[in-house]
Structure 1
Amino acid sequence: MLDPRICPGCGDRANVPIAEPGEPVLRCARCGHRWRFHRLPLLALTGPSGAGKSTVGPELARRLADRVVVLEQDVLWTGGLRDDVDGHPTFRATWLRMAAMIHQSGRPVVLCGTVVPPEFEPLPERVFFADIHYLALVADSDVLARRLAARPAWREWSRPRIEEMLEFNEWLRAEASALRPPVRLFDTTHASRADAVAVVESWVRELLPATPDQGAFR
């Protein structure tokens, strides 16, 4: 699937894609070519590491295999995308382009990874999406710390790294409702795996139409 930043008319690549207001139409700043695209919502299943995203994701993919594409964000966390800028804009922009390309098949993406609105919303690639919805899995800090400390050694969860994640967890719990758009929270401290999967599945279905007609997405 063609990178949505690339004009199918002249082949120019836009650093800042231009989407016309209202209609899902992209316009090339170089040659003026206009083309329609599917502007679907992106669903971001976020939250700190250890809160349950990796536990929920596989079951969510199984249950909603005919409706959405569920992807793990960290699969692209490679050296070339580990920019040192706050928010990792190169990494985030790459994921928005990837999701937008998948959306052209008419199926929305559920992206599982640690991300918050200030890291997606200001990016030029944001124009490819109708809305970005955020659901964050969180947990009590002591529970989260135990979960992370129990992970295999190859995952390299040092004490400073755990403390950083606990700080993010507490910040998210305090600020979720004030973010724009607001982030919905679900606390997995005492939730079973089945409960967490049910909550996330319900959230996804709430944002999908009754039938998989791509034109009906909100």
Structure 2
Amino acid sequence: MHPLICTHCGEWDETPDTGAGVSVLRCASCGRTRPFLRMPLYCVSGPSGTGKSTIAGLLLERLRDRFVVLEQDLLWVSGLRDPEGHHRHFRSTWLRTAAMVQQSGRPVVLCGTVVPPEFEPLPERALFTDIHYLALSCEPGALAERLRARPAWREWDEERIDDNADFAAWVAAEAARLDPPMTLVDTTHTAPADTADAVCRWIEGLAEAEAAAG
């Protein structure tokens, strides 16, 4: 089942009516509703080298009974590496995947580099009640050293390291001004377990507030 294809009329529904509630979608073409559970999506983002992959396994251990933790690089394959529109095909595929996983009744924690301007404009954004963004950060010198220490097959030359540093600086400067804003967690001097604890508190705090709000 493709979440943007109406099961009644078969039309591609890029603007499903989410005002119908969190458990159904209403087709803009035929007006019929279909069951679909909309939940929040929690994105653990940040530039390369800040620790996303390192803490992903720790998040899985801590959250597996309530959330589904996924690593974004699992789908970073040649067929989805289209640079047009901020890798739109890749981003849309992940949103559709996360939306279908959440039909199990557990929200998704997606670990991978993404910022609000890459997800928020997409049609698949309507499949979630909210998308929350947290970005890991790191001091420039420490970030560069982490990337230089990676195996050669990962191809982190100085030009690529400089590009990543520029992106890291942009995230640090713009995080609070993005819509929605991104929460920053500095990993420069923090052990992975402590970083994972901080991220878990962020996720659990948001989930508790959303549950209390009904």
**Normalised by the shorter chain, which TM-score bucket?**
over 0.9
> Percent of aligned pairs with the same residue?
54
User: Aligned equivalents of 2:111 and 2:84: distance in 1?
Assistant: 21
The Cα of 1:22 is off from its aligned counterpart by 5.1
Q: Is 1:84 matched with 2:101?
A: no
The Cα of 1:188 is off from its aligned counterpart by 0.5
Q: How does 1:99-110 map to 2 (within 5 A)?
A: 99-110=98-109
4+ residue runs over 4 A deviation: 214-218
Q: Which letter maps to 1:158?
A: D
Deviations 1:129-168 (A, max 9, x none): 1110011000001100000111111211121111111111
Structure 1's 20 and 195: CA in aligned 2 closer, same or farther, altered over 3 A? closer
Q: Which letter maps to 1:28?
A: C
The Cα of 1:215 is off from its aligned counterpart by 7.4
Root-mean-square deviation over aligned CA pairs:
1.9
Larger deviation: 5-14 or 158-167? 5-14
Secondary structure at the aligned position of 2:124 is classed as: helix
User: Aligned equivalents of 1:6 and 1:164: distance in 2?
Assistant: 38
The Cα of 1:88 is off from its aligned counterpart by 1.1
Q: Aligned pairs, how many?
A: 213
Secondary structure at the aligned position of 1:110 is classed as: strand
Secondary structure at the aligned position of 1:191 is classed as: coil
Q: Is 1:38 matched with 2:37?
A: yes
Q: Is the 8 A contact 2:18 2:126 kept in 1?
A: no
Question: For residue 137 of structure 2, what is the aligned residue in structure 1?
Answer: 138
Q: Which letter maps to 1:163?
A: D
Q: TM-score, normalised by structure 1?
A: 0.91
Q: Is 1:21 matched with 2:19?
A: yes
Q: TM-score, normalised by structure 2?
A: 0.93
User: Aligned equivalents of 1:141 and 1:206: distance in 2?
Assistant: 29
Question: For residue 191 of structure 1, what is the aligned residue in structure 2?
Answer: 190
Structure 1's 69 and 118: CA in aligned 2 closer, same or farther, altered over 3 A? same
Deviations 1:159-210 (A, max 9, x none): 1111111111011111100001110001111111121111011111112239
User: Aligned equivalents of 1:92 and 1:217: distance in 2?
Assistant: 29
Q: How does 1:149-160 map to 2 (within 5 A)?
A: 149-160=148-159
Question: For residue 124 of structure 1, what is the aligned residue in structure 2?
Answer: 123
Q: Of Structure 1 and Structure 2, which has the larger fraction of its residues in helix?
A: 2
User: Aligned equivalents of 1:132 and 1:115: distance in 2?
Assistant: 11
5+ residue gaps, structure 1: none
Q: Which letter maps to 1:175?
A: E
User: Aligned equivalents of 1:50 and 1:198: distance in 2?
Assistant: 19
The Cα of 1:7 is off from its aligned counterpart by 1.8
5+ residue gaps, structure 2: none
